Structure 1
Amino acid sequence: MTSLDHPRLSGLGRNPAAPVDVLVRLAAHKAGRHGISMRRGRLADAVVEALLTHGDDDNAVSLHGDRLSPAMRRRIAEHPDPAIRDAYAAFVRYTVDRQVTIGIEALEEAHGRPRTALVGAPSPKLRAAVARDWYDRPAAVQAALLADPDPLVRAAATVDKKPGVPPEWSDRCLADPATRVNVARYVPLTSDQFTQLMRTEDEDVHQAVATNPHLSADMVARLLDIDDPAVRVAVAQSRHVDTETRNRLYALVEAERAAGSTEAWVALNWNFTEPDWLREAPLDERMTYLDCEQTVFRRVLASCRDLPEEAWRRLDNDPDLMVRRTAARRPDAPPHVLERLVRAHGDVFHIRPLLVEHPNFPRHTLRTLVDEPSPNVRYVALQDPELPVTALQQLATAEDSFLRRGVARHPNITDALLERLLVDPAPEVADDAGANPALRPARMYRILAEAGL
């Protein structure tokens, strides 16, 4: 967490090259403690002792598990302040109470019991947390959760289609108000089950059913007249809908959006379902979607790996950027296609691997991106770990702070550049400069001295 007032200290706390004595002195400052809490790996015993001396229960939340030596785990377990002893467990209970996913290992550590025992915990919220966080639970455990007396637990157990609902549980879960919507999204439905769900006149149920990938053609036909944008978009993505019907449904929703309908806007822009069935369709059928008016179909098509060269040529030049990026992730994407895409639009850094990490990407061209007009494209140049100092100097003067941050994190940074970025007006830049392992120990000690530590 970047300290707005003392970013160099919070950054220094994260610095993987910071000596133990630097971290011990940092622990006397709130910003330093925040930075240390973000470090990866085990903390030295001396650092833990300093955090216990200067910190509070908020800082103690990060002192648990493999971050500590066995001696320090005993030290915290025997700490005279109950708030320190219970800090991590209290944090986990807080997340459980608010129904936030935290991970099954965290639940086991905080409660000191194995997951098999937590399934039968007295607290419904804890049992629901186990259902959310134990993804690969065995069938017997899933059955126990589906039969749980508390609706909160049953709902949590059915959110995801894995481990799913066994066929013998379908009727019961579809009749249960706590699980009906969840289960209607993914279990194969019989004609009677489908009819019963449609009779509920529940909008959420209808929307869930419409996204079910196992619907028959007859079921889809019975959904066509439902006046709900989310249902119309889901039905339009069905394998049982012809091109004319699909275009008509999308046109209806587009018209509603143009008329100011929030529901229609959400259905078109926040709809994360895809026609996954298209990936398994015969090649001849898939090829008919190359010119599909709806982008989502072309995007799914671009995620296939067995298309002919003509299809890739079309998809590489698709009018939609997401389609082009999806196509470029195929194993044999040509170098010029990858470079052209990155040079025009940059990369998407929250999706791994990056396009510039593709084996066919011409990495020698990365440094040439420094002179591109778009800051998002120039940022990609920083993926070259040997980017010349002259290029780093150029990017360090950029108006966009995210570019200066990229320079502050770069492994080829010089002492002079680090010095400049340590006093950058954007706290995040100074924080990243303080966290760069290239920062020399002598400069670390000066930062401490300047802060009176």
Structure 2
Amino acid sequence: MNHLLYGLAANEKLPTELVEESAVHLAYEGRLTAADIDPWARPDAALALLDQGMGRPEWARLFAADPVVEHREKLAACPGLPPDVVEALIADTDIRVVAEVALWAAPDVAARLAEHQHAAVRRAAAANEATPPPVLAALISGEGLPPVQRCPVCDREEPPFVHAPDCPRRDCDLLPGASCDGSHESAVHDLLSAALRNPGTPTEAVIGFVDHPSLLLRRALAARRDLPPESYARLAADPDPGVLADVAENPAIDGTLIRALAGDDSHDVRRQLAHHPDIPLDVLTRLARGTRIGGALLPRIAAASGAEIEKLACSPDPAVRMLVAQRRDLPPEIRDVLATDPDAKVVKSVAPHSGLSEAQLRAMVDRHGVRVLAKVATNPDATPALLEELTRHEPPVPKALRKVARHRNATASALLACLGAEQARLLAAGHPALPPQAIANLLTGTGTGPDLRVAEQAAANPSLPHAAMWALLPPPPPAT
């Protein structure tokens, strides 16, 4: 029954007080206030409101003493807690709660917790972007900080210990390879990784890790945007393709390094480089010919000038024309030329462009068939009649049915056709143009078999009849 109640909770016709089981969902949607919640009866909903800064201070004090550690841990991540509550959480006996405080704390509290004896708390402070930069530098160097005394490994096992990758214990939450020989090495490594990824960590504190033997630390460094050019050049010579790919997508690298990386053998490196906002167009067009870049609009294409767009649209290479066809602000004359392109990949890219006529969209389907059907179905100007025809296409195209099921112009007839495809049915169930009787059938599985996800979407459909909605609610408790 819960899946139906969650759906009903999203249906604005239903009074919120009738679906208590969905209180957390409603709280995060802004449909509940503190006046609607009893924290003793619904601690999860009360914590959801505190997480949004909408709870009451006395609730925070209540949960700070809650015997359920998950409640205290959730509270520790909430913003704007009273100072006495923060202090109580810092003194918590469960290290997970203290670490959660360190992860979200204000600068002064984060600086205090950076000196905590437990590595997990220091690691959380290292990941907190509010931690002061000098403290982050100290977490890397260790200077001025007391030694770490405990870590997640030696909390559970007597050192020396290395956690086996095939550990058979179901209750074990240590990562494969986690180890402690008394120096808390794996926990300290995690701390360093968090600090290197933190943009607040000073550049001078991190550049010494360019040649570190740890791949994870080098990758963390390669993603930073504040390194000197010589550091990026050294990272671009790394033997690991993952490091090179991280460097390739980094907006901080210059044109010289971009051109050097464009010759790399790794497909991932070239693909990431294609998404670089400052890649020269000649390098990008060369990459497009031999790299599977995907269908997203690339930043350099989005920033191209009118003259560059015109030149790219006239390229003899369909891979290049496909790149420019992803723009949704093309001049009509360029858009219309690309809409008649002989290459289906180009037509697929331009098909979602607004402003195309029904005749142009039909012509795309006539020329290229199933290869462009789904993209035509995403066009915002696709007419109801065209959408109905797309659902009747033989052979059927499941992806096109999913797009039709989402379309604002989809008719009842088109949506009924979508119910025959599993994934499209899930989308069609929430479409307001779906006939009321079809919605009611989906709630019970009539004609399609029971599907809890579909039923939930149907319950949220604004066209759900009131009578069907009220019939789904559980009966009120008997009067006492």
Both proteins in one fold, TM over 0.5: yes
Aligned residue number for residue 104 of structure 1: 78
1:46-105: CA deviation from partner (whole Å, max 9, x where unpaired): 9979xx9xxx96x652256769xxxx989x97xxxx99x959x85432557xxxxx9533
CA contact (8 A) 2:111 2:131 kept: no
Of structures 1 and 2, the one scoring higher in RCO (CA 8 A, sep 6+) is: 1
Deviations 1:146-174 (A, max 9, x none): 555554344223437x55763x5575343
Which of 90, 93, 96 is the matching residue for 1:121? Answer: 90
* Aligned counterparts of 1:197 and 1:47: Cα–Cα separation in 2: 52
User: Is 2:196 the partner of 1:184?
Assistant: yes
Q: Unmatched 5+ residue regions in structure 2?
A: 143-187, 340-346, 354-360, 362-371, 391-395
- Pick the aligned partner of 1:210 from 214, 222, 227: 222
**Residue matched to 1:197:** 209
2:427 to 406, 410, 434: 406
Look up the equivalent residue of 1:369 and give its one-letter code: L
Task: Supply the distance in 1 between the matched residues of 2:13 and 2:231 (Cα, whole angstroms).
Answer: 62
The DSSP-based 3-state class of the residue aligned with 1:433 is: helix
Where does residue 174 of structure 1 map in the other structure?
A: 140
State the alpha-carbon separation in 1 of the partners of residues 327 and 239 from structure 2.
38
**1:156 maps onto 2:136 in alignment:** no
Question: Percent of aligned pairs with the same residue?
Answer: 17
Cα 1:155–1:413 shift into 2, 3 Å = same
Q: Which residue pairs with 1:289 in the alignment?
A: 284
Alignment partners' CA distance in 2, 1:280 and 1:245: 13
2:12 is the counterpart of 1:16: yes
Aligned to 2:404: 381
1:38 matched to 2:54: no
| Secondary structure of residue in 1 paired with 2:463 | coil
Residues 86 and 101 in structure 2, CA contact (< 8 A), matched pair in contact too: no
- The answer to whether 1:92 aligns with 2:68 is no
Q: Which one-letter code corresponds to 1:288 in the other structure?
A: V
Pair 200,11 (structure 1): closer, same or farther in 2 beyond 3 Å: closer
CA distance in 1, matches of 2:321, 2:117: 48
**Quick one: distance in 2 between partners of 1:280 and 1:294?**
18
Specify which of 415, 437, 444 is matched with residue 436 of structure 2.
415
Retained in 1: the 8 A contact 2:11–2:459? yes
Q: Which residue of the partner structure matches residue 149 of structure 2?
A: none
Quick one: structure 1 residues 312 and 149, their matched pair in 2 at CA, closer, same or farther if it must change by over 3 Å?
farther
- Tell me the residue number matched to 2:147: none
Give the structure-2-normalised TM-score: 0.57
1:117 Cα shift?
A: 4.4
RMSD of aligned alpha carbons: 5.3
> Match of 1:328?
327
CA deviation vs aligned residue, 1:340-378 (integer Å, no higher than 9, x gap): 14883757xxxxxxx96xxxx643447623433422223
For 2:46 and 2:136, the matched residues in 1 are separated by 44
Distance change (3 Å), C-alpha of 1:306 and 1:442: same
> SS of the counterpart of 2:127?
coil
C-alpha separation in 2, matches of 1:236 and 1:103: 34
Gaps of 5+ in 1: 28-32, 97-101, 255-267, 348-354
Once the two structures are TM-superposed, the CA of residue 429 in structure 1 deviates from its matched residue by 1.6
- The TM-score normalised by the length of structure 1 is 0.60
1:368 aligns with 2:386: yes
Which residue pairs with 1:62 in the alignment? 45
1:409–1:436 CA contact under 8 A, matched in 2: yes
C-alpha distance 382-155 of structure 1, shift in aligned 2 (>3 A):
same
> What residue in structure 2 maps to residue 350 of structure 1?
none
Query: 1: distance between equivalents of 2:468 and 2:115?
Result: 61
Counterpart Cα distance in 2 of 1:394 and 1:381: 10
Question: Aligned pair in 2 of structure 1 residues 241, 438: CA closer, same or farther (>3 Å)?
Answer: same
Q: In the alignment, residue 104 of structure 1 is paired with which amino acid?
A: C
| CA deviation map 1:96-119 (0-9, x unaligned) | 7xxxxx9533xx5xxx62599469
